[in-house]
Amino acid sequence: MRRSSFRDDSYEMPRPCPRGTWSGAGAVKCTECAEGYYTWDEASSYCDRCEAGYMCSAPDADPGPCPLGTYSAEPAQTCCTV
């Protein structure tokens, strides 16, 4: 994973973006991951897509497998279907 950070005028040194957000090189702010995407760590330069069979309830949370009796047939789902 490529590490990334952003520059904030109130700080001299670039700060890493928090988990659930990402930034590109030279960014001045962090961008929250879209629904169904997440980051494992802080300082991410991209968001990972939640895979089919898992749900991503929040961009800063680990993907979780669908509970027994539910499914998510498509990637990038925020919940599982009964």
Q: What is the pLDDT of residues 8-30, one digit of tens each?
A: 555 567 788 999 999 988 888 89
Our CA dihedral for 79, 57, 62, 31, rounded to 10 degrees, sits at 130
- For the cut 60, the answer to whether the pLDDT of residue 2 exceeds it is no
User: Would you say 27 and 52 are in contact if contact means Cβ atoms under 8 Å apart?
Assistant: no
pTM: 0.76
Kindly state the percentage of the chain with pLDDT values over 90. Answer: 63
What are residue 21's DSSP bridge partners? 32
- Domain boundaries defined on the chain: 15-81
Q: What SS3 class is residue 82?
A: coil
Q: CA-based Rg of the chain, rounded to a whole angstrom?
A: 15
Instruction: Write the pLDDT tens digit of every residue in 52-69.
Output: 999 999 999 999 999 999
- Average pLDDT taken over every residue of the chain: 86
